[in-house]
Amino acid sequence: MKVPLWHPRLIPTWFGVALLWLLHWLPLPLLAMLGNGVGRLAASVPGKRRRIVETNLRLCFPDVAEATRRDWLRKTFCATSRAALEHSILWWGSAARVRRLV
């Protein structure tokens, strides 16, 4: 079933897109810091995604210490959050800004 873009069910998505648009104006170091904070928060919340990452790390690296895998889990969530926020610069930033950053 195709849902029109203005359907009420998509309102949270539009708020997320608007938030990303607003965040693209921030300097990259601040955006990175914010992404790391969101990642740490996401890594600390129990849920399906966290269990998936824990399971993958445990299966792929059975000989690695649990503390190291927990650190990798946190770093995974931080990197993913940062990437999501930094993509806003690629989507809406000027070509000059993207060239300067790349």
Distance CA 8, CA 20 (A): 19
Q: What are phi and psi of 65, to 5 degrees?
A: -60, 145
Distance CA 32, CA 78 (A): 9
Give the mean model confidence (pLDDT) for residues 95-101: 95
> pTM of the prediction?
0.84
DSSP reduced 3-state for 6: coil
pLDDT digits (tens, 9 = 90+) for 21-55: 999 999 999 999 999 999 999 999 999 999 999 99
Give pLDDT, residue 2.
Answer: 86
Give pLDDT, residue 90.
Answer: 94
Beta strands in the chain (DSSP E): none
From residue 38, alpha-carbon distances to 44, 63, 75, 84, 99 in Å are 10, 29, 11, 11, 26
% of the chain surpassing 90 pLDDT = 89
